[in-house]
Amino acid sequence: MTVRELALDAYSNVIHDGGYSNIVLNRIIEENELSQKDRALLTEILYGSISRKLTLEYYLRPLIQTKIKRWQRDLLVISLYQLEYLDKIPSYAVINEAVEIAKERGGLQSSRQINGILRSFLREEKPKISDIKNDATRLSIEYSLPKWIVRHLLKHHSVENTENIAKSLLERPNMYVRVNRKQTTREALIKQLQDEGVTAKKSSIHENAVIVYGGGLTETKAYKDGLFGIQDASSMCVNYALDPTGKEAILDACSAPGGKGFHALENMNGHVDFSDVFEHKLTLIKNESKRLKHTNLNVMLKDATKDDYDTMYDKIIVDAPCSGLGVLKRKPEIKYNVREEDINTLVDIQLSILNHVKQYLKRGGTLVYSTCTLHQMENENVAYTFKKQSTDIEFDEFEIPPFKFKGNMRQILPHELNTDGFFIAKFKKL
């Protein structure tokens, strides 16, 4: 199969069958012998077409005059993405291959339909998104962000800032790794990665953060030797609020894949209990702990809304299940799968976890609540509601120096320093 055929299958799998973009992509790469160039093209087409789906469908709408099949629409979307956003690929190459795919899958008539629509797209003037008067509709179409998400952002941000957020969510994210301080230093890690052909440099967001560029990261000796973990820098900012020191006992209550708990272990001599409600996720944590060579830990199958932890902790991390709207740079399909009505259910789960695990926190102990979403109901609203419901809980202050922040909660927006969107709140038990 050609790269574009693979991209079509991958796109359809993600959009219609509930596949996860990263898992689908990795599976296709593993099952097909692809050059580095073809891998890059496949990745670009898949992520780009998913990210820009609403914009591309807006351009397509006036061009489709007759009924077409679902796979034809998908083929048109990935073809329009290449024509509109990939300057290095000649238009004739995109159209010719789309026509061949259509002929093979649907016959001559189908290939003629695809050919006609794509040539019309090149020939005719596109509808101007900038002419749309309604801000929510314009931003939704221009940045391919469902309107309910745009409306929510506009409630809490200016039009300009909403546009900055939406634009940022379409950009390629930085790749960050977290130095395993129990095994090496940041300087030594950067040198080893560079020696192995990986471009790496210090990040100003956290002293344990390194920005890396290029592929093949998990094939390096540095990775196999457990010298670093893969974690976004915004997630590492939980460490500022948690401030692990000495020989503390810490619970990472919704821990998979374990980054925040491992980060704590790497900055202290204490113990971390990792718990999660899914068995297969615990396997990931166990495997990662072996790779990183961590020993002061326990991995437990627990439901953080109700199960007994049978111990008291100095500090607790609740990185709660959430809508994931802060990680759309990496998982763009999330924005089409999450519905507005899902938010209330998530809020109930988040509060249930916080209210349950707080009973296992020692007096004077720290509880850090975090999510990887931008939705105010899951973030500030949950933090204030939890505080209001808890007579034994008070907000606590922390700092995040690179954001020049000092306070008890912080929404990290994705465009500020090109990280994931992330929320952190800190509490203290009275």
Contact 123, 40 (CB under 8 A): no
Contact 169, 178 (CB under 8 A): no
**Other Cβ atoms within 10 Å of 348 Cβ, number:** 12
Contact 181, 189 (CB under 8 A): no
| 372 is a catalytic site residue | yes
Residue 255: C-alpha distances to residues 15, 252, 280, 406 (Å): 28, 5, 12, 26
Q: Answer left, alpha or beta for residue 246, where phi above 0 means left and psi between -120 and 50 means alpha.
A: left
CA–CA gap between residue 221 and residue 323 (Å, rounded): 35
Look up residue 428 and give its two tokens.
Answer: 């203290």
The SS3 assignment for 311 reads coil
Q: What DSSP letter does each residue of 174-208 carry, written as one string?
A: PEEEEE-TTT--HHHHHHHHHHTT-EEEE-SS-TT
CA–CA gap between residue 338 and residue 379 (Å, rounded): 16
Which of the residues 237, 254, 322, 372 is marked catalytic? 372
Query: Radius of gyration of the chain from Cα atoms?
Result: 23
Q: Which amino acid is at 246?
A: G
Paired strand residues for 210: 177, 202
Residue 417 burial class via C-beta count within 10 angstroms: exposed 0-12, middle 13-18, buried 19 and up: middle
The SS3 assignment for 228 reads strand
**Other Cβ atoms within 10 Å of 170 Cβ, number:** 17
Name the residue among 226, 136, 244, 140 with its Cα closest to residue 178: 226
- Which residues are known catalytic residues? 372
